[in-house]
Structure 1
Amino acid sequence: MEETISLKDLFATLRKRLSLILMITFTAAAVSAIVSYFFITPTYQVSSQLLVNRSQVEENFNTNEVQTNIALINTYKELITKSIILDTVADELDGSYTATDLREMITVQGGTDNQILTVTVEDTDPDTAAAIANKVATVFEREVPNIMNIDNVKMIEPAVVLDTISPVNPKPMLNIAIALVVGLMAGVGLAFLLEYLDNTMKNEQDIEKELGIPVLGVITRFDLSELEVAATSSGRKARGEK
Structure 2
Amino acid sequence: MEEEIDLKQILQIIIKKLWIIISITLVAALISGLISYYVLTPTYKSSAQILVAPTNSDLQPFNSSDIRFSLDLISTYRDIIKSPFILEQVVERLEIEYSTGYLNSLITLETASQSQVFTIEVLDEDSNMAAKLTNTIAQVFKENMVDLMNVDNVTILAEAKESSSPVSPNPILNIALSIAAAILVSLVLIFLIEFFDNSVKTEQDIDHLDLQVLGTVNKIGKLKEKKTSKKKNIEVGNERGITLES
What fraction of aligned residue pairs are identical, expressed as a percent? 33
Pairs aligned (count): 230
Match of 1:7 in 2: 7
Q: Deviations over 1:166-221 (max 9, x none)?
A: 11001111111111110110111111110001110112321232133235121537
The letter of the residue matching 2:167 is V
**CA contact under 8 A between 1:208 and 1:215: conserved in structure 2?**
no
Candidates 224, 230, 240, aligned match of 1:236: 230
Deviation at 1:106, TM superposition (A): 0.8
Deviation at 1:5, TM superposition (A): 7.0
Deviation at 1:234, TM superposition (A): 9.0
- Equivalent-residue separation in structure 2 for 1:170 and 1:99 (angstroms): 25
**CA contact under 8 A between 2:55 and 2:66: conserved in structure 1?**
no
Match of 1:187 in 2: 186
- Equivalent-residue separation in structure 2 for 1:80 and 1:142 (angstroms): 12
- Equivalent runs, 1:51-200 vs 2, <5 Å: 51-57=51-57, 64-161=65-162, 165-200=164-199
The letter of the residue matching 1:57 is S
Q: Deviations over 1:101-151 (max 9, x none)?
A: 110111111222321121111111111000000110011001112222222
**CA contact under 8 A between 1:207 and 1:215: conserved in structure 2?**
no
Deviation at 1:29, TM superposition (A): 1.3
Match of 2:215 in 1: 216
- Equivalent-residue separation in structure 1 for 2:74 and 2:24 (angstroms): 50
- Equivalent-residue separation in structure 2 for 1:234 and 1:14 (angstroms): 49
Q: Show structure 2 runs of 5+ residues with no match.
A: 236-245
Q: Would the alpha carbon gap of residues 237 and 190 (structure 1) be closer, same or farther in structure 2, given more than 3 Å must change?
A: farther
Match of 2:46 in 1: 46
Deviation at 1:32, TM superposition (A): 0.9
Structure with bigger gyration radius? 2
Deviation at 1:100, TM superposition (A): 0.9
Q: Could you say what secondary structure the match of 1:239 adopts?
A: helix
Q: Would the alpha carbon gap of residues 88 and 198 (structure 1) be closer, same or farther in structure 2, given more than 3 Å must change?
A: same
Q: Show structure 1 runs of 5+ residues with no match.
A: none
Q: Could you say what secondary structure the match of 1:142 adopts?
A: helix
**CA contact under 8 A between 1:43 and 1:167: conserved in structure 2?**
yes
**CA contact under 8 A between 1:24 and 1:183: conserved in structure 2?**
yes
TM superposition score normalised by structure 1:
0.85
- Equivalent-residue separation in structure 2 for 1:206 and 1:221 (angstroms): 22
Cα RMSD after superposing both structures: 2.6
